Amino acid sequence: MKQILVSGVLGLFLSLFGTPLLIRLLASKGYGQMIRDDGPQAHHSKRGTPTMGGIAFILATLLAYAITKLATGEKPTLSGVLVLFLTVGMGLVGFLDDYIKIVKQRSLGLRAKAKMAGQLIVGIAFAVLAMNFHDSRGQTPASTKLSFTTDFGWSIGPVIFVIWALFMILAMSNGVNLTDGLDGLATGASVMVFAAYTVIGVWQYGQWCGAPVSANGACYEVRDPLDLAVVAAALMGACFGFLWWNTSPAKIFMGDTGSLALGGALAGLAICSRTELLLAILGGLFVLITMSVVIQVGSFRLTGKRVFRMAPLQHHFELKGWSEVLVVVRFWIVQGMCMAVGLGVFYAAWVAAS
């Protein structure tokens, strides 16, 4: 448990004090945000705000995890390292996208095919590695069974598992990316989901099948639950520190560097903790915002009419007259309720199985 506290506190302070250094560096190089002309007009005042801020909390997370291991004398686990690999890999794809936007002054960044190719390469590498490298109990970081609060049903096989893992990684990465449209919105929502995964990791470790005695015969077949909690705590702390600078009025934006990394981290935690379908509840705000885009595009193509004034959903409420801060706070409340429901479902499933 000491590891969780240390990683969370380190992630917080490294991000809190490291982000201003990144802001000054990016500002000195003129790496400012491009604003799309078809977005809300109020957003044009944000043009030139330093972007690629995801670099700050990615580095803070990596340093927090590494220092925690050195300070406590504990060894890194494959599950923890794989989640960090997925986070960094997706962040690198986002960084290339941001860099092209800034250097070439092209608001759409990487071409769609190139961006998708990068995400696929990182996602496939993660999925293949996660199915291998058994520990002494024969457990791998990921299972080829589907999971809700634990694994269920039959194995879907390695090929379908890779496809499923890719779907989750792409869905969450793009979900966080779509949510990252208002100051602090995606960062604050991510803090809540990482907090939930910290709790889940701690609980799974307390009822772990790898422990000498399992309560009431029921236990969680997860390879490295405690280390997943350490990673989640480091991510939570790092995002919390970044939120100090990212909240309205934002001094820095996370960019695709941050949003893709956060989506990858969420998907990786869900896959390795065997809570894949539960992530749709825990990260309900990201799902809601993604679905608003799907509904908007589908409705326009089928009927020629739009359901919302603008998609993603947060911009619809902006155009209805809600202030940016009002939208963010109310959406945080929605996300908080999703997190609470998700944790409630997780605990209820344990009670039912015990």
Residue 28 is which amino acid? Answer: S
Residues counted in the chain: 354
User: CB neighbours (10 Å) of residue 106?
Assistant: 12
Burial 203-214 (b: 16+ CB within 10 A, else e): bbbebbebeeee
Kindly list the distances between the CA atom of residue 269 and the CA atoms of 86, 114, 197, 328, in Å, as whole numbers in the listed order: 10, 26, 7, 25
Contacts of 306 (CB under 8 A, 6+ apart): 296, 299, 300
Task: For residue 246, say whether it is annotated as part of any ligand binding site.
Answer: no
> 146's torsion region: left (phi>0), alpha (psi -120 to 50) or beta?
beta
The CA distance from 109 to 203, in Å, is: 41
Two tokens at 75?
Answer: 């060894």
Cβ-based burial of 142 (10 A; exposed 0-12, middle 13-18, buried ≥19): buried
Is 224 annotated to bind ligand?
A: no
Q: Which helix (H) or strand (E) holds 310?
A: none
Beta pairing class for 151-155 and 145-147: antiparallel
Task: Count H helices and E strands in the chain, helices first.
Answer: 12, 2
Helices 78-103 + 54-72 axis angle, to 10: 160
Instruction: Look up residue 58 and give its two tokens.
Output: 């990615």
Under a CB-based contact definition with an 8 Å cutoff, are residues 149 and 344 in contact? no
Provide the strand spans (E) within 111-218.
Answer: 145-147, 151-155
Phi-psi region of 274 (alpha: psi -120 to 50; beta: other; left: phi over 0): left
Q: Provide the annotated binding site for Mg(2+).
A: 177, 256
**What are the binding residues?**
177, 256
